[in-house]
Amino acid sequence: MSLPARIAVLVAVVIALLVSGCGDDGGTGPDDRPDEGTVITLEFEDGELVGGSRQESVGLGDAVEITVAGDPGDDVHVHGYDLYIREGEDQLTFDALIPGTFEVELEGSGRQLLRMTVS
């Protein structure tokens, strides 16, 4: 793992501890998610992203759900968080604990699907 990736993981862990409070059970189940949340749908038709690449804004600490409709023919990679929606899967849920702007792309081709700004 590269140094920037290690730093990103460390920052995410520290933020998670601060947000969750060190005295609780540290649970991250669905009942522990904040009320705020963002759903991002990536719809594919004939292997192409419907509507093309776009920008999405997400609140820091929000629960984010990325849903894939159709068949992209590749893994979807969320950079910065190093998360994937593997080919054949249709959903990924995570907490947006790292601020910044991150590319979401098709892993094999490197084709950008969206830029996600977390703030």
Query: Structural domains in the chain?
Result: 3-118 (2.60.40.420)
pLDDT in tens, the chain (119 residues): 666 666 666 566 556 544 454 444 444 444 444 456 899 999 999 889 999 999 999 999 999 999 999 999 999 999 999 999 998 889 999 999 999 999 999 999 999 999 999 99
Q: What beta strand segments (E) does the chain contain? A: 37-45, 48-49, 54-58, 63-69, 76-78, 83-85, 91-95, 100-106, 112-118
Instruction: Give the global pTM.
Output: 0.68
**Unique residue bearing structure tokens 């899967």:** 89
